[in-house]
Amino acid sequence: MASFMEPIQIFSTLAAAANFGGSILQSPLIMPMLMLPQIPVQYAGTQTAYLLQKSEYFFPPLNGVCTLSNLVLMGTAYLYSSDSAVAAAKLPRLATAFVLNLATTAWALTIMVPMNKRMGVLAGQMEKKVKEDGQGAVVKTEESELRRLQARWRKLNYGRATIMIGSAIAGMSALLVRA
């Protein structure tokens, strides 16, 4: 079995776990604070948009590196699988980790990103109205849509995090395979 695999496996497993940890904390800790009724909705909208925008600089690249690492590991295990029982045993686990990384990306792009963009638009509209009005009046439909999207995002983020931890577990199980 290729000697370079184990450090890459450790990295991709830890990165998937970090991706899970950072993402999962947003649902029970951060998003509920942004949903507090004491926080004026225009500020909650701006803070939500900021959080989601800044998260895009960290989580997608991290998941991309995990996906690429697991692809390389899966390909290497496949190439060695006929000559190595360890590679053959690792292959399905690494394939699972790779597929779950792809599923995380698909979940994010098809479910989370549209909500992120809509919340950003709503935040911009509310901020503009506050500047124009000067008193912070926000249209109730925008407020209720933002609050609804925050709650939906919070719930659906648990689904994304579940896929992420699945990838970390699959990677960890591949690490445990020994000769």
- 47-58 tens-digit pLDDT: 999 988 888 888
Q: What is the pLDDT of residue 179?
A: 66
Q: What is the pLDDT of residue 131?
A: 80
Q: Higher confidence at residue 42 or residue 146? A: 146
* Cα–Cα distance for residue pair 155/134, rounded to 1 Å: 34
* Cα–Cα distance for residue pair 21/115, rounded to 1 Å: 21
Asked whether 70 and 97 are in contact (CB, 8 A), the reply is: yes
What pLDDT digit, counting tens, does each position of 102-138 carry?
A: 999 999 999 999 999 999 999 998 888 878 876 556 6
Task: Look up residue 15 and give its amino acid.
Answer: A
What pLDDT digit, counting tens, does each position of 20-30 carry?
A: 988 888 888 88
Chain center to CA of 40: 27
Has residue 173 got a pLDDT over 90?
yes
Dmax (CA) of the chain = 72
Which tokens belong to 83?
Answer: 């000559």
Q: What is the pLDDT of residue 96?
A: 97
